[in-house]
Homo-oligomer: A and B are copies of this chain.
Amino acid sequence: MQFGISIFPTIGPEDKSGRDHFRDALELARLADELGLHHVKTVEHYFFRYGGYSPDPVTFLAAAAARTRRIRLVTGAVIPAFTHPVKLAGQLAMLDNLCRGRLDVGFGRAFLPDEFAAFEISMDDSHSRFREGVEACRRLWSEQDVVWEGGHHRFGPVTLLPRPFQDPHPGILIATSITPESCAAAGRAGYGLMMVPSINKREKTQEMLALYRRARAEAGHDPETGEVHMSYNCYLAEDGAEARRKGRAYSEVTNRVMTDAVAAWGRTGSADYPGYERVLEKVRGSDFDRSLGENKVLVGSPDEVVEKVRVIREWFGDVTLSLQVISGNVPHEESARTVRLFAEHVMPRFTESVPAGTLSA
């Protein structure tokens, strides 16, 4: 298994200044690099405490690239609907060179109605813009004299500069939360997958994973190489009871923040987002103790978290975990403690690789 950190801020100016947030986030990236974690990741969101401190993941990752030596840098995710593909592909190619090939690009479709409204984009175009944006980036990275004639963009022939460091292009992962067809499409294309197991039943996550792995195999892609990232809120303390007490409090902050961000779903409907009308009640109904019992949050002492990761590996196979160690406005020292305890006491227990696809029945 592989383990990284995900910087998912849930703060506004009243909670923490941008200056302090980015200072601390860069320090966590440096620490994760030093301790041998696999990746540092950050999100693209706007306006709300829910990720809004990170409107451009590439800008943060470029600074993190300059402060780290070996850790991979991952967008989790960039939103092609909000940036012209020529700009997005170019910006990511710069980052791939700045970090010398340590970049993996997660692409997301976005799901917050207020973000689409600000970018003057219809949510009903989200699938088509997403597909077009990912494919345009892939071609701009890997081909010359690209002529693009899509439903949303038409340009070319152009040859993108700079060429990416990685040949033919940085790793591509597809972020999906509840849409099985996205998993199958990612598998067919040979891309990796980014999932959020906390928002679905375990069986649904397994079903999406199976769809993804089957589609990969049927399309002839190596089943061993499809990287699956899964995000988990994570809070560790030497004392399990302390971890649960504090982890519960931060989790409640995160849930309040998320409730604000998804409020617009109470007055929104889109054929591209079936079922999202219920997002608000789902977030409101989330319960820390149940999440903990269902291994949807990694909170506890190191030994307790080892046990949870063991179960997750049983369920989902040899996946890559992204630890959300700051969400809930966790004080920096406590986030750093989580990263240290995880690296020292949990990671070493999962060095052996288990073949992907060996799900327990």
Interface residues of A (CB under 8 A from B): 12-13, 17-19, 21-22, 26, 46-49, 52-56, 58-60, 62-67, 82-84, 86-87, 90-91, 93-98, 100, 114, 117-120, 153-156, 158-165
User: Do A59 and B153 touch across chains, with their CB atoms under 8 A apart?
Assistant: no
User: Do A19 and B161 touch across chains, with their CB atoms under 8 A apart?
Assistant: no
User: Do A86 and B162 touch across chains, with their CB atoms under 8 A apart?
Assistant: no
Minimum distance in angstroms from A52 CB to a CB of chain B: 4
The closest CB in chain B to the CB of A13 belongs to B163
User: Do B18 and A165 touch across chains, with their CB atoms under 8 A apart?
Assistant: yes
- CA–CA, A154 to B117, complex, Å? 9
Q: List 26 A-B contacts (CB under 8 A).
A: A12-B161, A13-B161, A18-B93, A19-B97, A21-B97, A47-B160, A47-B161, A49-B161, A55-B91, A55-B93, A55-B160, A55-B161, A56-B90, A58-B62, A59-B59, A59-B94, A60-B62, A62-B66, A63-B63, A64-B66, A66-B67, A82-B84, A83-B87, A87-B119, A118-B155, A118-B156
Contacts A52-B161, A56-B91, A83-B83 supplied; 4 other A-B pairs, CB < 8 Å: A17-B97, A47-B159, A56-B87, A117-B155
- CA–CA, A351 to B21, complex, Å? 37
- CA–CA, A258 to B153, complex, Å? 27
